[in-house]
Homo-oligomer: A and B are copies of this chain.
Amino acid sequence: MEARRNDENLLSSVRNALLILRSFSMDEPEKKISDLATSLGLNKSTVSRTMATLASEGFVYKDPDTKKYRLGYSILSLSGIITSNMDVYRESQPVLNRLVKETGETAHISILDSTDVIYIQKVECNHPVRFLTHVGKRNPTYCTSSGKVLLAYSDESLAERVIENGLHAYTANTITNPDELRAHLKKVRDQGFACSIEEILEGVNSIAAPIFDYTGKVIAALTVVGPKQRIQQQNIRPLAKKVISASMEISDRMGYWR
């Protein structure tokens, strides 16, 4: 077998399978064998057999006409297990719906995964402008409002780790100076919410507030996102008020006691 970087004692064929799965993306929801082989540097036959195995368990689905593969419903089942056992997920649904109706903007719930934020829930607004986020999407912490909220309320060592990993300038507004970020996080803690003003994407602003559990720990963030035409300096205060009140309502449902 080809000896690919066998980091520890991991099973390389299993890893290949997982890499194949993860190579599916929003932009490329369908894949061909040969493309996968070249992009992952694997042999065609290896990919073919791996895909056959994945398909036999329903993790991918092979379109009989085009011979292309897409992700299968086994994955959907598994994700249902994850979210159903996530209290925040259940409790936030109705609150999110109301918030979206009140503000007219898309709302998310996100959580921390290592040094990234992941969106676990999304309620879209009716504006025709579609956003590029989706459930499961991973973003940096230091340039998203939700990320900054989660950082601000986490142990400081996490922020330091994020800083060590490097602060990449996604836009001109991205905070790339470590001291500036530290000061910013302090401000977030003081005011109880965070904003991202075109810090990750030009023209896109967002406001986020923390969600607490019954121990008082911050476990998630509630975000409202929109184009800068609709979310701007003069209405940030009133919007933030709504976001905070909604996030507090979810915290209440989670058993948070002030």
Pick the contact of A9: B25, B49, B57 (CB < 8 A): B49
Asked if A24 and B124 make an inter-chain contact with CB atoms under 8 angstroms apart, the answer reads no
Nearest B-chain residue to A28, judged by Cβ: B81
Answer yes or no: A214 CB below 8 A from chain B CBs: no
B residues near A97, Cβ cutoff 8 Å: 97
Answer yes or no: A183 CB below 8 A from chain B CBs: no
**Least Cβ–Cβ distance between A206 and chain B, in angstroms:** 18
How far apart are the CA atoms of A7 and B52 in the complex, in Å?
Answer: 11
B residues near A150, Cβ cutoff 8 Å: none
Answer yes or no: A138 CB below 8 A from chain B CBs: yes
Answer yes or no: A22 CB below 8 A from chain B CBs: yes
Bitwise interface map of A from 69 to 98 toward B, beta carbon under 8 Å scored 1, else 0? 011011111111111110000100110010
Answer yes or no: A21 CB below 8 A from chain B CBs: yes
Pick the contact of A8: B52, B59, B136 (CB < 8 A): B52
Pick the contact of A76: B9, B54, B82 (CB < 8 A): B82
**Assuming the A-B contacts A97-B97, A113-B73, are A81 and B136 also in contact, with contact meaning beta carbons closer than 8 angstroms in the complex?**
yes
**Least Cβ–Cβ distance between A255 and chain B, in angstroms:** 16
How far apart are the CA atoms of A49 and B15 in the complex, in Å?
Answer: 11
**Assuming the A-B contacts A13-B13, A73-B113, A97-B97, are A137 and B80 also in contact, with contact meaning beta carbons closer than 8 angstroms in the complex?**
yes
Which bracket fits the contact residues of A?
A: 35 or more
Bitwise interface map of A from 9 to 22 toward B, beta carbon under 8 Å scored 1, else 0? 11101111111011
B residues near A74, Cβ cutoff 8 Å: 18, 21-22
How far apart are the CA atoms of A153 and B13 in the complex, in Å?
Answer: 41
Asked if A53 and B136 make an inter-chain contact with CB atoms under 8 angstroms apart, the answer reads no
**Assuming the A-B contacts A29-B81, A77-B137, A78-B24, are A56 and B15 also in contact, with contact meaning beta carbons closer than 8 angstroms in the complex?**
yes
Asked if B84 and A53 make an inter-chain contact with CB atoms under 8 angstroms apart, the answer reads no
Asked if A79 and B75 make an inter-chain contact with CB atoms under 8 angstroms apart, the answer reads yes
Answer yes or no: A134 CB below 8 A from chain B CBs: yes
Bitwise interface map of A from 108 to 133 toward B, beta carbon under 8 Å scored 1, else 0? 00000100001110011010000000
Residues of A that sit less than 8 Å from B by CB: 7-11, 13-19, 21-22, 24-26, 29, 49-50, 52-54, 56-59, 70-71, 73-85, 90, 93-94, 97, 113, 118-120, 123-124, 126, 134-138
